[in-house]
Amino acid sequence: MSLEYQVFPVSTPAEGAGGKTGNWRTVRPVVTDRCIGCNACFLWCPEGTIGVVGRKAKVYYEYCKGCGVCANVCPVKAIEMVMEQ
């Protein structure tokens, strides 16, 4: 008997399974040189799309929804929110 009919409601981890939230964005966060790499933005970002790489925060724009939480929580105001073109 072929077992092809047996499918299960199982899912495996995949990046961006919640959908490409980058499309929602009207403003984008831009990390400036003031960044001290403290990771507060990483902890706070609701999408998990910013984090410290090396010494400085980096934004993954494909999924960043532009909510501005990172800019607000940054202790040194290193993130600027600029209009999307």
Chain positions contacting other proteins, by CB under 8 A: 1, 3, 5-19, 40, 42-46, 48, 67-69, 71-73
> What CA–CA distance (Å, rounded) separates 54 from 82?
24
**3-class DSSP state of 57:** strand
Q: Which of residues 1-20 bind ligand SF4 (CB under 6 A)?
A: none
> What CA–CA distance (Å, rounded) separates 49 from 30?
12
Instruction: Tell me if 43 contacts ligand SF4 by CB under 6 A.
Output: no
Torsion angle defined by CA atoms of residues 57, 63, 64 and 66, in that order, rounded to the nearest 10 degrees? 170
Instruction: Tell me if 64 contacts ligand SF4 by CB under 6 A.
Output: yes
Q: Pick one of other proteins, ligand SF4, none as the site partner of residue 83 (Cβ within 5 to 8 A by kind).
A: none
Measure CA 20 to chain center. Answer: 10
The residues binding ligand SF4 (CB under 6 A) are 29, 31, 35-41, 45, 47, 49-50, 52, 57, 59, 64-70, 74, 76, 78-79
